[in-house]
Amino acid sequence: MPGMNHPRAWYALRRTLPPWRFDENLAELVRVLPRYRVDEVIVKVDVEEFSHGQPPIELVQGYQNSLFRVKEAMDRLGIVYSINPWITHGHGDRGRDSRSTIPGAQMVVGHDGTRAKSCACSLSKPWRQHIAATWRLYAETGPRVIWVEDDIRTFNHAPVRFGCFCPQHLRRFSQHVGRRVSRTDLVAAILKPGKPHPWRTAWLDMLGEIMIDVARFLARTVHEVDPEISLGLMSSGYHHHCVEGRRWRPFAEALADGRPLYSRAPLGNYSEGSLRGLQYSHASIKGTRHVMPPDTIEQSEVENFTFGPWSNSATFTFLKMAVSFAYGSHGVTMNLFEHSGVPMEAEPQFGRMLADRKPFLEALAAVCQQPGRYRGVRLLHHERAAHVMRLQKGDDYDRLAPDHGPHVEALEALGIPTTCDDESVVSLCGQTVAAMSDDEIRSVLRHGVLIDAVSAGILVERGFGRDTGIRSIASPRPIYDLGPLGAEAFEHEEFGGAPNTYLTTTIGGGAEPRVSAIEPVRSARVISWFVDPDRKRHLPCMFAYENRHRGRVVVQAYDVGSISAQPYCRPLRVRQMQHAMQWLAGNDLPLVVHGDGAWPLAFRKDCDRHIVLGMFNLSLDDWGEVTFDLDGRASRGVDRIHVLDPHGRWRANAGLSTHRSRGRWLVRCDRAVSHQLPLVVLVRRKDA
Ligand SMILES: [Zn+2]
């Protein structure tokens, strides 16, 4: 797919052609796809409202001839043909009962004893036989890719939330631990508050192994028919898969089975809410890429659900596509139209947008798909985060998943881009640090690290108090348990503060934020204090410390998981956090953005011959000007600087200027940036 002769902004349309309107829908595809500039059609089979649960073999046999016809028609147009069977295990029952479709199949059983009727257990032999039979039929039609839906997982098989605790799974686990274990005993062990019970690790490891085997089974089924077909994997958000012990690399390798592997990262925002939802989209692309093998071909998921312009505007749909290409995806899969056979031209704004925006996306993709790395503050994810997660009494199963959402969102919204690539400044929040080895932690503490209250507590417990500047730390509690601490006094001038400067502590987004009482060592510098209504200082809110290894640490007393980015972010906070992060980096942060607007989503990608800078404006107000503030080295060997225009042409722009200041290189754009189109700047280097 991505290659010299192919479009770089690869459009793959996921389309359902239901049997009762097949001819009409196929004729429309043939007519409009060239006009929409679509490169690939991924045919969805037995979908959503008209899904039969586990589709009967006769149904797939009956439909196979239609698939051959799509393939033939697309071949004639030079459009690639792929398939997306709508289920493997099943997304949810939705009133279906597939127990008579697959006699003897074991269906998924939930942690609370709930039983599915149409979602099958991964250990069930009759289910595997049924899948093998149907998937052979799909493979015979010669698709480039067969996409595996994200229902290849052990959770979210409504009505089951977390599985599978069926007799077969329990038997296997019992054999593993050498004693008979009931569902209730096992679930109690998995959810035991405090230090994790060893059964949790054993259980997650077992689930992980079983799912690798399922992936291998699917790939081999397909490859027995046609070894040239690639498998594609949709996933559910990389952090969620921690709750089923997914081991990404062996899982992906099993599914690839020696062929190129495709990955569909979810972008969320199925229904348009706020532009800020694009923060999740970009984080999902970065995080999913990080866990998948490096040579994976990415086609992100641009989905409009429940379809039509009332659900997603064409503008918002375009922005999801632009985010995908800006963050380096090879293509987009587009699930834009409903599955009942309504013509696509009933909603013509989408097809028009696809055609109109292709040149812009092509130019964006061409520079962002080059090998290189995204720069920013490094985020840490660990696939064993659920293994080490400490639960509180009464916590539900879903608390096993780490959630970096508020953390990433807050940094990005303050104009501090984040990355999963290697960087010297790291941001730690929540319990994920517990999955890291002592050596990994030591290495992080030798550079620059931002630490929240939860991570700080774990580091102290692990014996790293001395290197974090913490003398003592209490567990996080709701802030008003500690007194009437309504404000944060931000007066340290070296970090951007000033006398009588205050930030609100009402930043929990409806709940109280959680805070740890921390006593720093004497040599730590307190950047801000929690104060009472008389402005009296009570507890440090943020402090900076340089340790014996010359590593720099900034500790926040907030449990970042308890804050909400919207009330957290304000102009003072931008100053505070940009100063703090810059101090951590020794004034060498790869990028911060300044300007006169809110909710930036900015990026920098360094490639061999160029740097791409970009900013999406996730607010409805225009930014009047934007400054990309880069480390001084970025200015070396610069030849030309161009801005991408709406038609996909790189333009020298009168509004563009650069200058140096205090060891930094500033690239300033004096032009309005609206939410409708990202600002993209290309810094080309001179030929070596
Ligand atoms: Zn089971």
Spacing, Cα 192 to ligand 1 middle (Å): 22
Spacing, Cα 173 to ligand 1 middle (Å): 11
Mean pLDDT of the chain: 96
Spacing, Cα 171 to ligand 1 middle (Å): 10
Spacing, Cα 147 to ligand 1 middle (Å): 23
Q: For the beta carbon of residue 493, count every other beta carbon within 10 angstroms.
A: 11
DSSP structural state of residue 295: T
Helices (H), 192-312: 198-225, 248-256, 278-291
For residue 347, being part of any structural domain is answered with yes
Spacing, Cα 181 to ligand 1 middle (Å): 14
User: Any idea which residue has 């599955």 for tokens?
Assistant: 339
Answer whether 299's CB lies under 8 Å from 329's CB: yes
For residue 5, being part of any structural domain is answered with no
Spacing, Cα 112 to ligand 1 middle (Å): 13
User: Any idea which residue has 């993709």 for tokens?
Assistant: 365
Spacing, Cα 245 to ligand 1 middle (Å): 15
Spacing, Cα 630 to ligand 1 middle (Å): 52
Spacing, Cα 194 to ligand 1 middle (Å): 27
Spacing, Cα 635 to ligand 1 middle (Å): 57
Spacing, Cα 389 to ligand 1 middle (Å): 24
Spacing, Cα 124 to ligand 1 middle (Å): 7
Spacing, Cα 386 to ligand 1 middle (Å): 20
Are residues 69 and 136 both part of a single domain?
yes
Nearest to 437 by CA among 400, 407, 472, 463: 463
Spacing, Cα 239 to ligand 1 middle (Å): 22
Residue-level pLDDT at 688:
53
Are residues 680 and 580 both part of a single domain?
no
- What total number of domains does the chain contain? 3
Spacing, Cα 333 to ligand 1 middle (Å): 31
Are residues 546 and 628 both part of a single domain?
no
Are residues 418 and 353 both part of a single domain?
no
Residue-level pLDDT at 406:
77
Are residues 572 and 618 both part of a single domain?
no
User: Any idea which residue has 């996933």 for tokens?
Assistant: 235
For residue 316, being part of any structural domain is answered with yes
Are residues 269 and 394 both part of a single domain?
no
For residue 346, being part of any structural domain is answered with yes
Report how far apart the first and last C-alpha atoms of the chain are (Å, whole number).
30
For residue 445, being part of any structural domain is answered with yes
Q: For residue 659, give its domain range.
A: 592-685
Instruction: Tell whether the torsion through CA atoms of 340, 343, 348 and 350 is positive or negative.
Output: positive
Spacing, Cα 196 to ligand 1 middle (Å): 23
Spacing, Cα 259 to ligand 1 middle (Å): 29
Bridge partner list, 300: 332
DSSP structural state of residue 193: S
Spacing, Cα 107 to ligand 1 middle (Å): 7
Q: What is the token pair recorded at 292?
A: 């998948």
Are residues 412 and 326 both part of a single domain?
no
Spacing, Cα 170 to ligand 1 middle (Å): 8
Whole-number Å distance between alpha carbons of 246 and 240: 9
Spacing, Cα 295 to ligand 1 middle (Å): 32
Answer whether 330's CB lies under 8 Å from 9's CB: no
User: Any idea which residue has 């501090």 for tokens?
Assistant: 416
* Strands of 567-663, DSSP E: 591-595, 600-607, 610-617, 626-631, 638-644, 650-651, 656-661
Spacing, Cα 37 to ligand 1 middle (Å): 44
Spacing, Cα 110 to ligand 1 middle (Å): 9
Sequence-separated (6 or more) residues with CB below 8 Å from residue 575: 496, 497
Tell me the CB-side half-sphere exposure of residue 281, using CA atoms within 13 A.
35
Q: For the beta carbon of residue 463, count every other beta carbon within 10 angstroms.
A: 10
Per residue in 602-628, pLDDT (tens digit) is 999 999 999 999 999 999 999 999 999
Per residue in 345-385, pLDDT (tens digit) is 999 999 999 999 999 999 999 999 999 999 999 999 999 99
Instruction: Tell whether the torsion through CA atoms of 123, 127, 133 and 134 is positive or negative.
Output: negative
Spacing, Cα 515 to ligand 1 middle (Å): 41
Bridge partner list, 75: none
Whole-number Å distance between alpha carbons of 76 and 505: 62
For residue 180, being part of any structural domain is answered with yes
Are residues 574 and 614 both part of a single domain?
no
Q: What is the token pair recorded at 301?
A: 């998921």
* Strands of 149-194, DSSP E: 155-157, 160-162
Residue where a domain terminates, one of 354, 370, 386? 370
Spacing, Cα 148 to ligand 1 middle (Å): 19
Tell me which residues of the chain have a pLDDT lower than 70. Answer: 1-7, 688
Per-residue burial over 123-145, b if 16 or more Cβ lie within 10 Å, else e, is: bbeebbebbeebbebbbebbbbb
Whole-number Å distance between alpha carbons of 318 and 677: 9
Spacing, Cα 209 to ligand 1 middle (Å): 13
CATH of the domain at 599: 2.60.40.1180
Residue where a domain terminates, one of 370, 403, 429? 370
Q: What is the pTM of this model?
A: 0.97
Spacing, Cα 125 to ligand 1 middle (Å): 11
Residue-level pLDDT at 4:
40
Spacing, Cα 122 to ligand 1 middle (Å): 6
Spacing, Cα 385 to ligand 1 middle (Å): 23
User: Any idea which residue has 């030798």 for tokens?
Assistant: 446
Spacing, Cα 172 to ligand 1 middle (Å): 10
Are residues 331 and 413 both part of a single domain?
no
Whole-number Å distance between alpha carbons of 168 and 664: 61
Spacing, Cα 211 to ligand 1 middle (Å): 11
CA angle, 282 as apex, 277 and 287 as ends, to 5°?
125
Spacing, Cα 165 to ligand 1 middle (Å): 6
Spacing, Cα 161 to ligand 1 middle (Å): 13
Are residues 447 and 344 both part of a single domain?
no
Residue where a domain terminates, one of 546, 563, 587? 587
Tell me how far the alpha carbon of residue 48 is from its chain's centroid. 24
Spacing, Cα 168 to ligand 1 middle (Å): 6
Are residues 607 and 498 both part of a single domain?
no
Answer whether 26's CB lies under 8 Å from 65's CB: no
Spacing, Cα 169 to ligand 1 middle (Å): 5
Spacing, Cα 154 to ligand 1 middle (Å): 9
Q: What is the token pair recorded at 427?
A: 């941001």
Whole-number Å distance between alpha carbons of 350 and 352: 5
Spacing, Cα 676 to ligand 1 middle (Å): 47
Spacing, Cα 255 to ligand 1 middle (Å): 21
Spacing, Cα 163 to ligand 1 middle (Å): 7
For residue 4, being part of any structural domain is answered with no
Nearest to 509 by CA among 619, 405, 382: 405
Nearest to 317 by CA among 300, 299, 303, 298: 303
Can you spell out the DSSP letters for 79-129? Answer: -EEEEEES-SS-SB-TT---TTTSTTPPEEE-TTS-EEEEEEPTT-HHHHH
* CA-CA-CA-CA dihedral for 567, 573, 554, 443, to nearest 10: 80
Amino acid sitting at position 277: G
Spacing, Cα 387 to ligand 1 middle (Å): 20
Sequence-separated (6 or more) residues with CB below 8 Å from residue 56: 101
CATH of the domain at 405: 3.40.50
For residue 3, being part of any structural domain is answered with no
Spacing, Cα 18 to ligand 1 middle (Å): 32
Spacing, Cα 574 to ligand 1 middle (Å): 49
Are residues 541 and 620 both part of a single domain?
no
